[in-house]
Amino acid sequence: MFGRKKPQFQMTLDQCLSALVVRNPQVQAKDLPQGRIELSLPYLKPWLIRWLQRKDRKTFLRRFELDSIGADLWHQADGRRTVSDLVQHLARAQHLEPQQARDSMVAYLQMLMTRGLVGLVVSQE
């Protein structure tokens, strides 16, 4: 309501599938038992809380836990693979139809991007 709206970039499905998936370099990953992974990302506290607390720590760590499927995809998202590569990997690993794997991957990547864990690099072509 009071904040500025950030301009949103809309991309086509073809642009999304050809984009490279890159991890946020600030994310710390820690392997957990049973193939899971914990991701930690520093966030800036809201200005009102920083002002009220008046402490030196202006950030806090948000933690996200990924299951074994999410951890496998996290390890695959190394900045060299495209979304399409990850879709193919997911379809093979989980025995899914290509359409189902694509829809699941797009939704999963949107969730990871919303949380600031990954980003997409779209080529200028």
Q: pLDDT by residue (tens digit) across 53-89?
A: 666 666 678 899 999 999 999 999 999 999 999 999 9
| pLDDT confidence of residue 9 | 67
Going by C-alpha positions, the residue among 89, 60, 61, 62 that lies closest to residue 74 is 89
Residue 117 pLDDT greater than 60, yes or no = yes
- What residues does each domain of the chain span? 13-117
Q: pLDDT by residue (tens digit) across 7-43?
A: 666 788 888 889 999 999 999 999 999 999 999 988 7
E-strand ranges in the chain read 20-23, 28-31, 37-44, 59-66, 118-121
Q: What is the mean pLDDT of residues 44-51?
A: 65
22, with CB counted inside 10 A (0-12, 13-18, 19+), is middle
- Given the candidates 3.40.640, 3.90.930, 3.30.70, 1.10.860, the CATH classification of the domain at 13-117 is 3.90.930
Residue burial 79-100, b: 16+ Cβ < 10 Å; e: rest: eebbbebbbbbbbeeeebeeee
